[in-house]
Chain A
Amino acid sequence: MFCFISNCLKQMLNYTYLSLIFLYGLICWMIADVTIKSQGLISGKEILKSYDTIILFLVLINCIYFIITHFRETLNSRIRDAEILRLGRYKYFWGLAAAYFIYFAVFNAAPLYLTAFVQTIVNSSSAFYFSDYFNALLSTAFRAGLWPIALSLILIVWIKNDLLALIVWTAVYLTVTAISVISGLYKTGEGNAPLSAVPLIASSVISLLTFAGGFLISRRLTEYEYNEKISGGIFSLIAHKLGFVLSEFHYKMLGLKTQSLYLIFGLLGFVFVLSLTEGMGANNTVISKMYVAVFFPLLFSFNQYNLLAVDIDSGMIATNVLRKSGYARIVLNRWFTMLLPQTVFAVVFSFFIIGSTNGLNVSFLALVLVLNILFSSMNFSLSVFFMRPGFANFTVGFVGYLMLREDVQKVISSSELLRNVNLFGSIVSFTNSTPSPDHILIALCLSIMFILPAFNKLKRIDITAL
């Protein structure tokens, strides 16, 4: 079922749609100077009020158009009959409904919230309180959204009995509702006004409806996808879904030899830089910034080709390509697995540097993290496209070097547009200039731009040419 849903999503998610969503986010960003109260960020109404309704409407129409086109094509397709035969009619249509719901939620609604969220942080970071935002989000999610679905999923996966799951859920549900009503009455002191419980009851009705939907979907999903017993329970399932189980194997396969070697070099450089920073005054802050934000990520980004070479050298590429998981997912998991220790060390080093210099702040830490991801993704992508390590290493190293050159930085700072997108400006700056959230966003977008084509290429890798 998951394969079917993801396949439907893949069919609907083409470059045109992604470009449109990206463009729409960009336009929203540019034409509106949005600042929404922290609590209002999760409210669709608040966001609709703040952005241009016509643009949002057009994007919604666009999303619906893609869904309708997909549905029509699916109904006309010969493959449909085969899929119905395999899945069963009921599962097939539930799968389509789930795919369309995810498509709308993740690729239409979520970018809207994300744009508003990031823009609010950028425009009024001082007035933005994460605690407010999370309180509102948690209360909404738990009251009407997430908890009934999560609970029903857990119950069905664990208990594997619809009726029993329903009884347990109802008991939990009634208890929670009763506690909510009683505590609500107690707090407001409006014990004589029974109508005060109406909002709570209304939200509980929403919960019930969500549960019904969640119950049916999760029941269907568990019937098909998880009919095998999972010894580690729900945590094992989550670990599988997030790719942690695969990562464990990838650590064993790739070994930490190369990473350890990089770490030794990294540590040596770090000790050297730290001694400079502490011993020779604040001007050396630039060196420490350059080290932790560029040299260190560059060092660890080298030889991403190894993620592919491990299969090619061992003659295992065909056997991996032919597994159900898909080769792109396997290699991407390796990339992510190898990125994790690197980012941990980068954060630790950054903390040390932040501790020893007063000029750096948390946004610098975020920049260090995204630059680690950016250099790694750039090398990875070039390795996948050119299928050799030398070119990728050279190019990434060269880009890093070029961006740190004083003359290049001068040219960049002479243009306002380039200055705004210059990720390295705050690194080479002798003053305490800090990276803006825009820079972090740009670095993340660039990383995605490198990863997506590489992922796409890996999906269609021609192993006979290797």
Chain B
Amino acid sequence: MFELNNISKSFGEKKVLKSISASFSFGITGIAGSNGCGKTTMFKILTGLLKPEGGKILYNSEEINTQSSFWRSKIGYLPQTIGLYSRMTVYDLLDYMLVLSDIKDKKLRKERIDYLTGELNLKAYLKTPCGYLSGGVKQRAGIAQAFIHDPEIVFLDEPTNNLDAEERERFHNFLDKFRLNKIILYVGHIIEEMGYISDRMLIFKNGEIVFHGKPSDLLNESRYSVRQILLSKNEALTFEPHMILRKIAINGKTKIIYRPGQEEDNIGEAAEAHFEDVYKIITRD
């Protein structure tokens, strides 16, 4: 288990993280927030790539140096953009990452590579140089390198970028296997999927954590109730835009899921809120 204790960070005048605190235990924590709200900065601080201006990071209640080799051996990291070495094959790349993680036994390295490439559907690309891989396969190879040394804590910054629906599903099944023995922090933008896969969710807004808890708590809160109304396309165009949470096309009409602003907005009927609706309500407020 590890904790953030009053972590803050600014870039020039802009305060990117405003004294945030959170604790993470085994399982998947989905992290969401609008662009530039501090998610990646938090990841960089947690991985030791950036130093915080204030606050502490505790691992099993001990303050740790995030730039120590002890911490580096504990973590795996998938950055937001990953390119991979174009000349190296997928197998060599993963083997190289294992050697850098100080795993000397070749047999053990091969076992790890075999296991992960099987899980992430990469077997067919083992001998392909990374420069020839498509975006989705590259992303999967990136995910594999984050898990390859069997780290206790994994930071995944938008891991489903470039993955098609089937591969996203496979990736979520893959994550499921580590729910009990790894601390996985997962930044993403497909809120619906994150809501279902995560054990806990953390929502950022302007450098602050505005929600930290179970995803089911989000849906159960009455203050996040939503309504729906079926309108013609033209009527839908005139609907108050800041109230709209989602639009669904049904038989030439548009179903609008919205959050009523005031009493008189309570037209239509009560609807079941989705994670995406609640997320939008939280980040807009």
Contact = CB atoms under 8 A, between A and B. Distances in A.
Given A236-B104, A240-B104, A316 B50 contact: no
Interface stretch (A123-131, A223-231, A383-391, A441-449): A223-231
A237 B48 CA distance: 29
| Interface residue range, chain B | 35 or more
Nearest to A314: B83
A322 interface: yes
A213 interface: no
30 contacts: A86-B70, A226-B104, A228-B105, A228-B108, A229-B108, A230-B105, A231-B108, A236-B104, A237-B104, A240-B104, A249-B92, A249-B95, A249-B96, A249-B99, A252-B88, A253-B96, A314-B83, A315-B83, A316-B83, A318-B77, A319-B78, A322-B47, A322-B49, A322-B72, A322-B77, A323-B149, A324-B149, A325-B100, A330-B100, A464-B44
Interface of B: 44, 47-50, 62, 69-70, 72-73, 75, 77-79, 81-88, 92, 95-97, 99-108, 145-146, 149
Contacts of A246: 99-100
A464 B62 contact: no
A122 B73 CA distance: 47
Contacts of B145: 319
A313 interface: yes
A310 interface: yes
Nearest to A313: B83
A318 B85 contact: no
Contacts of A237: 104
A239 B141 CA distance: 27
A293 interface: no
Contacts, number: 99
A249 B95 CA distance: 9
A318 B69 contact: no
A253 B97 CA distance: 12
A5 to B, nearest CB: 12
A228 B104 contact: yes
Contacts of A322: 47-49, 72, 75, 77
A86 B96 CA distance: 27
Interface centre among A86, A236, A246, A321 (most CB of B within 10 A): A321
Leading 10 A-B pairs by shortest Cβ distance: A315-B83, A323-B100, A314-B83, A249-B96, A324-B73, A325-B100, A231-B107, A324-B102, A318-B79, A240-B104
Given A315-B81, A319-B97, A319-B145, A324 B87 contact: no
Contacts of A245: 99, 104
Contact of A252 (B49, B92, B97, B149): B92
**Which secondary structure characterizes the binding site on chain A?**
helix
A355 interface: no
Nearest to A82: B62
Contacts of B149: 323-324
A318 B86 contact: no
Contacts of B108: 228-229, 231
Contacts of B72: 322-324, 326
Given A82-B62, A246-B99, A249-B96, A318 B49 contact: yes
Nearest to A241: B104
A320 interface: yes
A3 B70 contact: yes
B87 to A, nearest CB: 5
B102 A325 contact: yes
Nearest to A250: B96
B166 to A, nearest CB: 25
A230 B104 contact: yes
